[in-house]
Chains A and B, each alone.
Chain A
């Protein structure tokens, strides 16, 4: 296990602290607010394609993955506001990490956000998002040229 530098996890910690102060109903509205704010951030329309799609049934999720100086950066989009909020929390929390650091992120980190039932749905769940992000980073490690071409 390697320790991840605290400054790299600042956004994650901010979410954890903010959510900790809220009751369940307020958390629900907090996620919607994040989703609405994310809605105002442009996401390239040509990236809402099958190549960036994370397969699920209830709503669609697209993830863009980029590497800068060995750090993985993610941006996400969804057609549902709540899912957009959840994606935004995940990409915001775990961007800027190296592959090794990203591999250290576990279910416990997701649980740490304390989002209850909203986090655990299989098809749009945050664990599925985390696994997808980890898979993208690992794939990039194996063949960085292919990935850059695909993106």
Chain B
């Protein structure tokens, strides 16, 4: 198992009670898809968000089949709305 830390922004951060990040345990070599499922299980308040959430690995957009590298910087957030 690996303990991973996920940075949260915007709606996700607020729904997680204002937490700038959450931490959870995942099997080694887990994918983005597995990460989303684990977040939904451990943080029911974020379950709805997991359908449209964007996930990044080391500041690049990552997709469901991507494997989480050891020690990577992970983040989750809604589609962006800057400008």
Q: Real complex partners, A and B? A: no
Seen from chain B, the residues whose Cβ lies within 8 Å of a Cβ on chain A are none
